[in-house]
């Protein structure tokens, strides 16, 4: 017999003896003396980051983000974590701490505040401004106080002492979080990279090295680029490449990048002004970030350098730089509308240059290619990032920079986070290369509980309830989840409506049912199938109506008879909608009886 088997819960190999003779007492939780660490989002996915640290009657939350939906989630605007556990325990929540201002770390706050009452949120300066704007849009400005933090800030509760460490990322004011607990120290890096020549403040290497000397029990570290070898390109190199491109562009220049990358946006604007170009900004999110950046002094461009859409035709093409959203091929973003000729102010003219200061996020490659092709078709010269041009650099640490973090912190235990499962495994392998023992690398899923006890860590047998909640519009109740399932069935199998006419006075069907199909089968070629289906429903209803019944039972009878028949004949399960029409005289009789009862 194989000595090792696979655990059904975690997928990790364990000894056969551990399966046949488990000792669950070893992994039991003492909720008064143990410190618990778990994620409601951010593990096995890139997005909806939400990490919790719990001890006795206190809970600390790090980040509250959203996940942007894939194409198969029809009509979904956001995916957020299931907040059920925190709603039940909201009196124990002592702090929500934000590491930085990206949507996958702050986007869930408005939905969270609709369910949970918080006194205050602790956020860095730029993230604070973005959160305030977001809450204003959701009419939640008074829902919670937002306290600004920096690298010297401290938050103290009965059991926790929280501090912050400057990191470098693609947005200003990015921090890692140190949580001192009764059972050891935790360091959650947030999103980070190491850039020796950054735009803005550098990472606090000294504080990280000091933490490594003092001792970190558990390191939770960004895994996004764990499969990318080497070091990242410096933002200074990107700034130089953008400046060169603007200088040598003869006509109008359109630059598209991530709206959240305000440091990159500032580089583009400064380079445009240095090359004597006026700047127009398009895209709602880009305009908001530009406004906040200028308000906080991150973007230092005079008002005279900006022009509106109406002023574009008043200047020579060589004096114009347009900055817009749409670098990921989003169909409603500014660049897509410009490419398709549907933008209010802008249309591509031959000789325009479009610069993509970004890389396609995995999954967006087809959309980006479609926009690039359309731009080229209407006469634009499209320039994209490549290893030879360096128009973009990542905000997440590649493998060698992850090793640097591990060597600075020297953790006793390591829990990779912020990444898909493969990324977590690869980051765990990197940690083992730097000296972290394999059995001290904890690869978890959302809801898994890591128990800290006397500076030792293990994964408990218990889990926290967690799931993905689909947000359609502003509904964060989770009710949209069932709606999405119906949309998916409609997209895959279509709809069948069954119209039945009855006389409820005599419990009688007046005529054979009529079936109408949309998106299920091609009607002209499936008349025989639909006629057979009508007979199946008719026979089932005749048998059902031989005894006293209700409208609800008749609808269930239609579904239970028709759905198996359609699946057997077509191997598809369309949505079946029964429509029961009652004869006018029967309805009048029902109304008269109801009126008599009221009297």
Residue-wise pLDDT for 244-298, tens only, equals 999 999 999 999 998 888 989 999 999 999 999 999 999 988 999 999 999 999 9
Cα distance between residue 86 and residue 83, in whole Å: 5
The fold adopted by the segment(s) 494-598 is Ubiquitin-like (UB roll) (3.10.20)
Cα distance between residue 134 and residue 289, in whole Å: 11
What φ, ψ does residue 396 adopt, rounded to 5°? -115, 145
Cα distance between residue 220 and residue 222, in whole Å: 7
Where the chain has pLDDT below 50, the residues are: 1-25
**CATH code matching the domain that covers 25-230+395-471, chosen among 3.60.15.10, 3.40.50.150, 3.40.50.300, 1.20.1440.230:** 3.60.15.10
Cα distance between residue 521 and residue 517, in whole Å: 7
Cα distance between residue 540 and residue 30, in whole Å: 58
CA terminus-to-terminus distance, the chain: 79
Q: Are 169 and 418 in contact (CB under 8 A)?
A: no
SS3 track for 312-339: HHHCCHHHEEEEECCCCCCCCCHHHHHH
Residue for token pair 């191997």: 571
Given 105, 392, 396, 418, which residue is catalytic? 396
- Across the strands, what pairs with 95? 60
Cβ contacts of residue 96 below 8 Å, gap of 6+?
A: 61, 64, 109, 112, 118, 120, 121, 122
Q: Are 357 and 391 in contact (CB under 8 A)?
A: yes
**pLDDT given for residue 27 in this prediction:** 66
Q: Is 72 one of the catalytic residues?
A: no
Tokens standing for 240? 């130089």
Cβ contacts of residue 95 below 8 Å, gap of 6+?
A: 60, 61, 120, 122, 155, 157, 160, 162
Residue for token pair 């103290």: 156
Nearest to 61 by CA among 127, 105, 104: 105
**pLDDT given for residue 550 in this prediction:** 86
The three-point CA angle 148-124-214 to 5° equals 105
Same fold flag, 25-230+395-471 and 235-383: no
Q: Is the dihedral of CA 280, 285, 288, 291 positive or negative?
A: negative
Cβ contacts of residue 162 below 8 Å, gap of 6+?
A: 60, 95, 97, 154, 155, 156, 177, 178, 179, 180
SS3 track for 179-246: EEECCEEEEECCCCECCCCCCCCCCCHHHHHHHHHHCCCEEEEECCCCCCCCCCCCHHHHHHHHHHHH
Q: How far is CA 491 from the centre of its chain?
A: 23
**pLDDT given for residue 599 in this prediction:** 58
- Does this model's pTM top 0.85? My answer is no
Tokens standing for 459? 């994964």
Cα distance between residue 285 and residue 213, in whole Å: 42
CATH number for the domain formed by residue range(s) 235-383? 3.40.50.10710
What φ, ψ does residue 37 adopt, rounded to 5°? -125, 130
Q: Are 62 and 97 in contact (CB under 8 A)?
A: yes
Cα distance between residue 212 and residue 233, in whole Å: 26
**pLDDT given for residue 379 in this prediction:** 92
Q: Would you kindly state where each structural domain of the chain is located, as residue ranges? A: 25-230+395-471, 235-383, 494-598
Cα distance between residue 460 and residue 448, in whole Å: 7
**pLDDT given for residue 11 in this prediction:** 45
What φ, ψ does residue 554 adopt, rounded to 5°? -65, -40
Given 222, 352, 448, 472, which residue is catalytic? 222
Q: Are 195 and 165 in contact (CB under 8 A)?
A: no
Cα distance between residue 198 and residue 236, in whole Å: 6
- Across the strands, what pairs with 174? 167
Q: Is 396 one of the catalytic residues?
A: yes
């Amino acid at each position: 017999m194989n000595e090792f088997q696979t655990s059904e819960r975690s997928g990790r190999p364990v000894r056969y003896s551990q399966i046949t003779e488990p000792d669950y007492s070893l992994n039991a939780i003492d909720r008064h003396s143990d410190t618990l660490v778990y994620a409601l989002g951010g593990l096995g996915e890139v997005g909806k980051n939400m990490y919790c640290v719990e001890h006795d009657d206190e809970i600390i939350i790090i980040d509250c983000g959203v996940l942007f939906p894939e194409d198969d989630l029809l009509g979904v605007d956001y995916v957020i974590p299931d907040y059920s556990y925190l709603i039940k325990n909201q009196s124990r929540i002592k702090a929500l701490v934000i590491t930085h201002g990206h949507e996958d770390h702050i986007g869930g706050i408005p939905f969270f505040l609709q369910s949970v009452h918080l006194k205050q949120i602790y956020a860095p300066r730029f993230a604070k401004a973005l959160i305030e704007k977001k809450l204003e849009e959701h009419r939640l400005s008074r829902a919670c106080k937002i306290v600004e933090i920096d690298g010297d800030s401290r938050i103290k509760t009965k059991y926790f002492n929280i501090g912050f460490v400057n990191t470098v990322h693609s947005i200003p004011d990015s921090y890692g979080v140190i949580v001192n607990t009764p059972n050891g120290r935790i360091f959650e890096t947030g999103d980070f990279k190491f850039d020796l020549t950054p735009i803005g403040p550098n990472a606090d290497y000294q504080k990280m090295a000091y933490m490594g000397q003092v001792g970190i029990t558990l390191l939770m570290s960004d895994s996004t680029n764990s499969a990318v070898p080497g070091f990242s390109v410096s933002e200074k190199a990107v700034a130089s490449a953008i400046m060169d491109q603007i200088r040598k562009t003869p006509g109008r220049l359109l630059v598209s990048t991530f709206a959240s990358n305000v440091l990159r946006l500032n580089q583009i604007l400064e380079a445009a002004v240095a090359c004597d170009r006026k700047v127009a900004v398009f895209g709602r999110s880009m305009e908001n970030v530009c406004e906040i950046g200028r308000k906080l002094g991150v973007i230092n461009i005079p008002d005279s350098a900006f022009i509106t859409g109406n002023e574009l035709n008043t200047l020579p093409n060589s004096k114009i730089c347009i900055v817009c959203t749409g670098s990921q091929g989003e169909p409603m973003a500014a660049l897509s509308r410009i490419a398709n000729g549907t933008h209010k102010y802008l249309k591509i003219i031959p000789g325009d240059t479009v610069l993509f200061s970004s890389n396609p996020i995995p999954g967006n490659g087809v959309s980006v290619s479609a926009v690039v092709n359309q731009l080229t078709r209407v006469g634009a010269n499209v320039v994209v990032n490549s290893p030879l041009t360096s128009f973009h650099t990542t905000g997440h640490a590649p493998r060698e920079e992850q090793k640097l973090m591990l060597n600075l912190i020297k953790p006793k235990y390591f829990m990779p986070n912020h990444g898909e499962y493969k990324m977590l495994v690869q980051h765990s392998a990197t940690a083992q290369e730097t000296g972290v023992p394999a059995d001290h690398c904890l690869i978890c899923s959302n809801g898994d509980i890591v128990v800290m006890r006397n500076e030792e860590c293990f994964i408990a047998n218990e889990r926290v309830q967690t799931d993905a909640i689909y947000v359609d519009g502003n509904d964060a109740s989770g009710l949209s989840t069932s709606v999405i399932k119906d949309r998916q069935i409609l997209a895959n199998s279509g709809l069948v409506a069954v119209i039945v006419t009855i006389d409820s006075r005599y419990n009688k069907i007046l005529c054979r049912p009529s079936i109408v199909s949309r998106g299920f089968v091609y009607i002209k070629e499936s008349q025989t199938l639909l006629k057979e289906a009508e007979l199946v429903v008719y026979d089932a209803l005749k048998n059902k109506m031989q005894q006293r019944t209700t409208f609800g039972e008749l609808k269930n009878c239609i579904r239970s008879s028709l759905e198996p028949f359609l699946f057997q004949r077509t191997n598809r399960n369309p949505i079946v909608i029964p429509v029961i029409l009652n004869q006018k005289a029967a309805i009048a009789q029902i109304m008269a009886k109801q009126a008599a009862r009221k009297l």
